Amino acid sequence: MELLVWGLIIFAIAGAAYYFLKDDGKITKDEIVEAVEDATNLIEEVVDEVKATVEKVTPKPKLPTTKVLEGMTKAKLEETGREYGVELDRRMTKENMIKDLRAKYKKL
């Protein structure tokens, strides 16, 4: 991934240099800075799109079975929920915490 980003940066800078050089053969420092900023913005957009695509195609890890969850303490259930991106309320009953975990996880 990092190699792709550096390749895109080099390609963008080379393209910008060619664009500016073809007119009069001179490049100003401001033109180089602008080209690098444009390339950086483009690369950030591409990286964000790649990350979003990877997230879409990466399967979510499965929650432990209900039997395993029932064997956990409320504190361990809360900790497990955080591991899966779900915040639980320990003031609930264990049964309701498990239901809440499954419902919230399903929405992710």
The secondary structure of 57-97 as a DSSP string is HSPPPPPPPHHHHHTS-HHHHHHHHHHTT----TTS-HHHH
Based on its alpha-carbon atoms, the radius of gyration of the chain, rounded to whole angstroms, reads 25
Contact 51, 4 (CB under 8 A): no
| Alpha-carbon span 37 to 46, nearest angstrom | 14
Q: What is the mean pLDDT of residues 47-57?
A: 87
Is the per-residue pLDDT at 22 higher than 70?
A: no
| Alpha-carbon span 77 to 9, nearest angstrom | 45
Contact 77, 94 (CB under 8 A): yes
Q: Domain boundaries in the chain?
A: 2-57, 66-107
- The pTM of this model reads 0.53
Rounded to the nearest integer, the mean pLDDT of the chain is 86
What pLDDT shows up at residue 84?
Answer: 95
- Confidence band of 21 (pLDDT split at 50, 70, 90): low
Is the per-residue pLDDT at 102 higher than 80?
A: yes
The secondary structure of 24-40 as a DSSP string is HS---HHHHHHHHHHHH
Contact 65, 58 (CB under 8 A): no
Is the per-residue pLDDT at 81 higher than 80?
A: yes
- Confidence band of 60 (pLDDT split at 50, 70, 90): confident
Is the per-residue pLDDT at 34 higher than 80?
A: yes
What pLDDT shows up at residue 15?
Answer: 72
Is the per-residue pLDDT at 32 higher than 90?
A: no
